[in-house]
Amino acid sequence: MAYLEVENATKVYGGAARALDGVSLSVGRDEFFTLLGPSGCGKTTLLRSIAGFIELSDGNIKLDGRRLDTVPAHKRDIGMVFQDYAVFPHLTVSENVAFGLKARKVPAADIQRRVAEALATARLTDFRDRLPAAMSGGQQQRIGLARAMVIRPKLLLMDEPLSNLDAKLRVDLRDEIRDIQKKIGIAAIYVTHDQEEALAISDRICVMSTGRIQQIGTPQDIYSSPQTLFAASFVGTMNVLQRGTDPALEASILQDAPASLSQWAIRPEHIRLGEGDLPADTIRVPGTVEKYTYLGREAHIAAKTSVGKLVVQVADPEPSLTMEQGHPVTLAFRRGHVMGFDQQGARVSLGAR
């Protein structure tokens, strides 16, 4: 059952284009839900509308069956974690975490116990008497998390909480955030523009672009069955080709695709260099190497073909393998892995393949 319900949320900031344009979604009671999209697509606007810092131009938001628009931000029981940590520099770690409880006039004995619990959950117990300035970015963000959790909010909102951290720490802390969310069983909405982070952390992902929802689904849905060209290209990498470049070859790839299909797409990991035994629905496309990029655990070969440029991903490449520009290659992929899209970028069915 829906716990948080957003209906037709629309936001126009003084005369400009719509930052949110009819967004409707619902989030379950213990769900980890992620808003994913490029800069400016409206993620923060939606999050701050839920928190009560921004008033919607139209639409409404319900939490646990209750409309939020009449409830002021500080009474919404919503915890928020920000990109820039937003910790109080003059307070120790435990004072930071206790702050929201004191403001809510929680009895002192309860404050002590709850702060101790939150510190333990965020693995900050050993740092309780430190000032934030003497802590790393990752540790400071854990203070932000502990402070948001300790008030036992009905909903936890996180706006790009990891984007100021280095790559390795981001991965560690995202796993921790996910574990904590599941352990305390709280509904969470997480904002990121990092597609890998979204795939790793979420129960469901909402892909957004220019104030609108492109698709909502599990990480598997979004990655393997994207419903729009935008979702297909934003999550993971995608070869996108225009129809009409080599009609004869395209006829065998697209078979009886409808006339509305104007672009087709295939993921680099679904293309291989065509040697050996291949399944019956395999298409072979001749091409020449434009660029070879070695990335350690994989390599990318960009090839020029008569249907357009295709990037092939090779897993675990031999370190001795290199490919000169102009080197002839045969690319092989299965028809079943090809996706079709219309002029507007909506998914077009290619029928039974």
Ligand X SMILES: Nc1ncnc2c1ncn2[C@@H]1O[C@H](COP(=O)(O)OP(=O)(O)OP(=O)(O)O)[C@@H](O)[C@H]1O
Which residues form the interface with Mg ion (CB under 5 A)? 44
Complex with ligand X: residue 44 or 305, whichever CB lies closer? 44
Q: Does 55 bind ligand X (CB under 6 A)?
A: no
Token readout for 172 is 């560690």
E strand segments, the chain: 4-12, 18-27, 32-36, 58-63, 66-67, 78-81, 155-159, 187-192, 204-209, 212-217, 239-242, 261-266, 271-273, 282-294, 298-305, 308-315, 328-334, 339-342, 347-348
Q: Is 28 in the site for ligand X (CB under 6 A)?
A: no
- Enter the tokens of residue 88: 């109080």
> What distances in angstroms separate CA 334 from CA 75, 117, 270, 281, 282, one per listed residue?
55, 53, 8, 5, 4
- Least separation in angstroms between residue 159's CB and Mg ion is 6
CB of 246 to Mg ion, least distance (A): 42
Q: Which of 114, 170, 193, 204 binds ligand X (CB under 6 A)?
A: 193
Q: Which does 19 bind (CB under 5 to 8 A by kind): Mg ion, ligand X, none?
A: ligand X
39 binds ligand X (CB under 6 A): yes
Closer residue to Mg ion, CB minimum distance, 118 or 208 = 208
Q: Pick from ligand X, Mg ion, none: which does 39 bind, CB < 5 to 8 A by kind?
A: ligand X
Cβ closest to ligand X, residue 44 vs residue 195: 44
Which amino acid is it at 237? T
Q: Degrees (nearest 5) of the Cα angle 150, 156, 160? A: 115
22 binds ligand X (CB under 6 A): no
Residue pair 121/45 in contact (Cβ under 8 Å)? The answer is no
Tell me which of Mg ion, ligand X, none is bound by residue 100, counting a contact when its beta carbon lies within the kind-specific cut-off of 5 to 8 angstroms.
none
Site for ligand X, rule CB under 6 A:
13, 16, 19, 37, 39-45, 193
